[in-house]
Structure 1
Amino acid sequence: MNDVPYLLRGITKLTTDSSILVSSSKYLNDARLRDWIAEIVLKQNGPDVPAQSEMYPLVEMIDSLRDLPRIEALFTAERAKNPALDAWFNEWFISDYDADYFRQFAPGTLGHQFHEEVIAKNFEIVIYDKPEPKSQLDYFMVRSGQTHDLEHILTGGDFAYMGELVPAWFRITNQFKHLSPELAGELSIMYMFVTLRYTVRTLLHYPDVWQTCQDAVERGMRCGHASDALFMAKYEDVFHLPLADARERLGVREAVFADTSEASARWAARPQRIVA
C-alpha cells in the first residue's frame, strides 16, 4: 500500500463483457456529448462558429438523454408539497405577445427596456421554438424560453457573452433554493452546459477576461440565493412598472448590473499571439 501514490489509493479496477466503451453515466456513454464537451471547453473562439450556435445541437442531445417519466414524477411530487408551484402549473399561462406589443410601454418601464434591449436589436423574443406543451417539463421549458431575455434584465445580466453567465447561474442557484435537489438538478443541466463555454474556455484562452467572467457568475449566484422563485414569475403583470419596482414585485433581490460588452468582445476574438 505504501508504494501506491496517495491520490491513487482506493481505485478498484472493473471489468466488463462489453465490446464498446461503457460507463455507469448516461452522459459519458453518449459519444455525441463527449465530443461536444471536449470541443466546447477546449476550443478557442472564431467567427466561423459563433458561440450562440454551439448550443443548438446540445438541445437535442440532452432531450434524448432525459428520463421523462422520472422528471414528470419529480414534478408531481414537488407540486404535492409546494402549493405555489402547483398553482403555477394549474394556471398553465403562456404569453402570446409579439414585438409590436412592447411599443406601448413608457420609457423607464420594464416593457420599454425589453423593447430597447431585445426587439430593437432584432433578437428573437423566444430563443428556440417548442411545440405546444403536453407535459409538465414541456410547460416548464416553454415558459423558460419565453422569459430568458427578461431574466437577463431582472437579474442584471447584459446582452453580451459574459452577461449570459448571470441568468444562467441565477437559474441554477434559484432552482436549487426553491426545488428539491433531484428536480433542480434535472432542470439545471442545460444551464450548466451553457456556462462551460464561458468558464473553462475563458480560463484556458482568455485570462484577461476571467475576472469579468467570475464576477458575472458571482452576481448571478448572489441574486439567485436572495430571490424568490423567478422561474414562476408572471412578468406580464409588471411590464408597465419601472425596473426597480418590477424587481420588488417579483421578489428579485441583490441584482447588480455590469456592462460586460468590452470584455465580451475580447472574449469573442481569437487570442493574439505575441511572437518574439
Structure 2
Amino acid sequence: MNDIPYLLRGVQPMTTESSVLISSSKYLNDPRLREWVANIALKRNGPDMPAQAEMYPLIALLDELQDKHRIEELFTAERKKNPVMDAWFNEWFLSDYDADYFKQFDEGSLGHIFYRDVIEKNFEIVIYEKPQAKTQFEYFLYRAGQNHDLEHILTGGDFNYMGELVPAWFRITNQFKHLSPELATEVSLSYLFVTMRYSIRTLLHYPTVWQTCQNAIERGMKCGHASGPLFMAKYEPVFHLPLAEARLALDVHEAEFVDTTGPSMVWAGRDAA
C-alpha cells in the first residue's frame, strides 16, 4: 500500500468482455459526443467554424441521448408539487410576434430594446426551427428558444460571445433553484456545453479575456440565484415597460449589464476595435 501514490489509492482496474470502449456514462459511450467535447474544449477559434455553428450537432446528440420518458415523469412529478408550473403547462402559451410587432414600443421599453438590439442588427428571432411542441419537455425547450434573446436583455448579457455566458449561467443557476435536481440537470445540459466551450477555450488560448469570461459567469449566477423562475415568463404584458420595471415585474434581480464587445472580438480571433 505504501508503494502506491496517494492519489492512486483506491483505483480498481476493471475488465470487460466488450470489444469496444464502454463505460457507465452514456455520454462517454457516444463516440460523436467524445469527439465534439474534445474539439470544442481544446480548439482555438477560426473563421472556418463560427462558434454559433458548433452547437448545431450537439442539439441532435442530446436529443438522442436524453431519456425522454424519464424527463416526462420528472415534469409530471414537478407539476404535482408546483402549482405555478402546472398552470404554466396548462396554459401552453406560445408567442406569435414577428419583427414588425416591436416597432410600436417607445424608446427605453423592453420591446424597443429588443427591436434595437436584435431585429435592427438582423439577428433571427428564432435561432433554429423546432416543430410544434407535443410533450412537456418539447414545450419547455420551445419556450426557451423563443425567449433566449429576451433573457440576454433581462439578465444583462451582451449580444456577443462573452455575453452568451450570462443567460446560460443564469439558466443553470435559476433552474437548479426552482426545480428538482434531476429535472434541472436534464434541462440544463445544453447550457452546460455552451459555457464549457467559452470557459475552457478562454483559459487555454485567450488569457486576456479570462477575467471578462469569469465576470460574465459570476453575473449570470448572481442574477439566477436572486430571481424567480424566469423560464416560465410571459413577456408580452411587459414589453411596453422600461427595462428596470420589466425586470421587477418578471421577478428578475441583481442583473448587471457589461459591454463585452472588445473581449469577444479578441476571443473570436479579431483585434478589438
* TM-score bin (small chain): over 0.9
Q: CA RMSD in A?
A: 0.8
Counterpart amino acid of residue 65 in structure 1? L
Cα shift at 1:270: 6.9
1:84 matched residue in structure 2: 84
- For 1:12, what is the secondary structure of its paired residue? coil
TM-score by length of 2: 0.98
2:166 matched residue in structure 1: 166
Which 5+ residue runs of structure 1 have no aligned equivalent? Answer: 272-276
The aligned length equals: 271
Map of 1:73-152 to 2, 5 A cutoff?
73-152=73-152
Measure, in 1, the Cα distance between the counterparts of 2:270 and 2:242.
Answer: 39
Counterpart amino acid of residue 141 in structure 2? M
Map of 1:47-62 to 2, 5 A cutoff?
47-62=47-62
Deviations 1:188-217 (A, max 9, x none): 000000001110000000000000000000
- Whether the aligned pair in 2 keeps the contact of 1:110 and 1:238 (CA below 8 Å) is yes
Counterpart amino acid of residue 93 in structure 1? F
Measure, in 1, the Cα distance between the counterparts of 2:129 and 2:82.
Answer: 29
- For 1:14, what is the secondary structure of its paired residue? coil
Map of 1:197-208 to 2, 5 A cutoff?
197-208=197-208
Deviations 1:15-34 (A, max 9, x none): 11100000110000000000
Measure, in 2, the Cα distance between the counterparts of 1:13 and 1:246.
Answer: 56
- For 2:177, what is the secondary structure of its paired residue? helix
TM-score by length of 1: 0.97
- Whether the aligned pair in 2 keeps the contact of 1:46 and 1:270 (CA below 8 Å) is no
1:274 matched residue in structure 2: none
Measure, in 2, the Cα distance between the counterparts of 1:160 and 1:96.
Answer: 26
- For 2:125, what is the secondary structure of its paired residue? coil
Map of 1:182-261 to 2, 5 A cutoff?
182-261=182-261
Which 5+ residue runs of structure 2 have no aligned equivalent? Answer: none
Residues 44, 270 of structure 1: alpha-carbon distance in 2 compared, 3 angstrom cutoff: farther
Deviations 1:83-108 (A, max 9, x none): 00000000000011100000010101
- For 2:123, what is the secondary structure of its paired residue? coil
Cα shift at 1:236: 1.0
Counterpart amino acid of residue 216 in structure 1? A
Measure, in 1, the Cα distance between the counterparts of 2:49 and 2:140.
Answer: 29
2:24 matched residue in structure 1: 24
Measure, in 2, the Cα distance between the counterparts of 1:221 and 1:66.
Answer: 25
| Percent of residue pairs identical | 71
Deviations 1:1-43 (A, max 9, x none): 0000010010111111100000110000000000000000100
Measure, in 2, the Cα distance between the counterparts of 1:117 and 1:55.
Answer: 22
1:39 aligns with 2:33: no
Cα shift at 1:55: 0.5
Measure, in 2, the Cα distance between the counterparts of 1:48 and 1:10.
Answer: 45
Residues 270, 41 of structure 1: alpha-carbon distance in 2 compared, 3 angstrom cutoff: farther
1:157 aligns with 2:176: no
Deviations 1:53-74 (A, max 9, x none): 0000000000000100000000
1:178 aligns with 2:178: yes
- Whether the aligned pair in 2 keeps the contact of 1:212 and 1:263 (CA below 8 Å) is yes
Counterpart amino acid of residue 164 in structure 2? E
Counterpart amino acid of residue 153 in structure 1? I
Q: Which runs of 4+ in 1 moved over 4 A?
A: none
1:5 matched residue in structure 2: 5
Measure, in 1, the Cα distance between the counterparts of 2:98 and 2:239.
Answer: 14
